[in-house]
Chain A
């Protein structure tokens, strides 16, 4: 492998049902920053069936180039044809960096692709920088410049590690959704669109999709919410989430929850905040009856304002809360809802 041959920052533009996922635009935004540091371009790789129309949207969010791999075999996500698409793009275009979302799709696709082309893959990154490796000069070891430094939490969020991939290309990372910022949309901006089809011949590795079952959910995505009213085991019962829903409605927020609540079957998985749920960064995060296990905190600590209500004054949630109230949520939350109703009506 001649590392010098590998140029440019590529991102996997994930789409589901021919709608771009939020992570696709976040990666274009981050890829643009990295490309600027490297004095190169950001290329979005769009994979699917009849998806060419999405290229303009990627351009408006900052993609300089869009590679479109369009084939009927790619209609729904399946590991093998998607891995073949990305591995073929990498072999053909030789990017120095390749970013994939750390979604239920990307965390399956990324490892399969990295194993196929023999490179490193850093999982669930929360920060990406261009820098030197080793970070500080080490006698007898060449310090490489313009390396991708990939930072990620490990051990349930207790430690932070920064990883490099000095000897293989592309440098690959999966990136946690909700962490990177998308760039402002520039209407009418165009990208260089290149169509590329490596050919898709089904074999035993192409699994058959018998059925697609979509969760019946009219709930807003908690990752887009400006205000989250989040409940934990301390809420006590699924019925008692009603007091959180009432507060959310008055203040224009959305209800989310901790893992314990999902495990207990009180709320669906798509409302779960935390390491194994979603990473959120709302303006206000109400943590109600949530003890604040480190895995939960890892998913919400970037919120601008954290307000915690818990009857246990030793609950670890108070270690990250801006405003902590020790008290009975069953008394405080309904009273808060009534008071806010009055305050907002008076405006």
Chain B
């Protein structure tokens, strides 16, 4: 069984977001991590490796620095890392990104492709389903449990007030929720091996069945009209009172605002 996992290196928004003076994101000043939903997807793949001896290949698209997440994935137990990087791929929206990754995956054999549901920088949740569409395979988004049964996957697919248990024939693409599992840590031996492991680097010429007109900024249907810091309404009053006075204060405000 062969599993391809797509991961993204993202700024760690939990550590706070840093801006350049012109208001753009200062990515250099921010720590980067493997996107949390992707890490859950990787863990799911590694469990298939533990259980069925699946071969796990990790693919990422990004700047050369993104090879860091591939080494992390290999230190956790992935077999192979592929970095898709090329200047012509820069500025891609989700359409162009999914075209690129699908073009890379066409070089590989796979039974299952696992992506995270969404990345914490863009929060779009689009790239996984779009890759599946380009490859012409079924997609199951928002997976909270994955099992294998012969040449089918059985997946619990989360919705707001329910879940569906779905059965799909492989090959299939699954998008993973962070709730899926608790990702394992890298092992010391794994870190050592991953540091020395060879990372496969692919450029534009390795992408199969993708037109230039579908790549990078020029191949992106969506364009940014404006970007800015969020303007918040700002703080109101803040008081420090004893409990009884705090209650008086809240009740007074609720009365003034005609809530009670």
Contacts and interface: CB of A to CB of B under 8 A. Distances in A.
B230 A157 contact: yes
B130 A114 contact: yes
Interface string B152-174: 00100011111111111100000
Contact of A340 (B129, B231, B232, B251): B251
Nearest to A219: B161
A326 interface: yes
B223 A154 contact: no
Given A79-B129, A162-B226, A327 B141 contact: no
A193 interface: no
Contact of B123 (A112, A115, A123, A318): A123
Interface stretch (B50-58, B70-78, B199-207, B242-250): B242-250
B165 to A, nearest CB: 4
A275 to B, nearest CB: 7
B227 interface: yes
A124 interface: yes
Given A108-B142, A123-B125, A335-B243, A321 B235 contact: yes
B124 A123 contact: yes
Given A215-B162, A319-B235, A325 B246 contact: yes
B126 A111 contact: yes
A89 interface: no
Contact of A120 (B220, B229, B257): B220
A121 B222 contact: yes
B132 interface: yes
A206 B142 CA distance: 17
A215 B161 contact: yes
A155 B17 contact: yes
Interface string A208-230: 11111111010000000001000
Contact of B225 (A134, A167, A328): A134
Interface in B211-231: 220-231
B68 interface: no
A112 B244 contact: no
B121 interface: yes
Contacts of A121: 94-95, 126, 222
A54 interface: no
Given A111-B94, A159-B229, A211 B121 contact: no
A161 B123 CA distance: 13
A187 interface: no
Nearest to A209: B164
Nearest to A347: B260
A336 B247 contact: yes
B209 to A, nearest CB: 14
B237 interface: yes
B234 interface: yes
Contacts of A112: 129-130, 132-133, 139
A107 interface: yes
A249 interface: no
B227 A325 contact: no
Contacts of A213: 162-165
A204 B130 CA distance: 17
11 contacts: A104-B142, A112-B129, A112-B132, A115-B98, A123-B123, A159-B227, A163-B225, A207-B166, A321-B236, A326-B239, A336-B251
Interface of A: 16, 76-77, 79-80, 83, 103-105, 107-108, 110-112, 114-116, 118-124, 133-135, 149, 153-168, 204-215, 217, 227, 251, 270, 275, 283-284, 293-295, 297, 301, 305-307, 309, 313, 318-328, 331-332, 335-336, 339-340, 343-344
Q: Which 5 A-B pairs have the closest CB atoms?
A: A120-B221, A120-B222, A115-B133, A322-B236, A123-B124
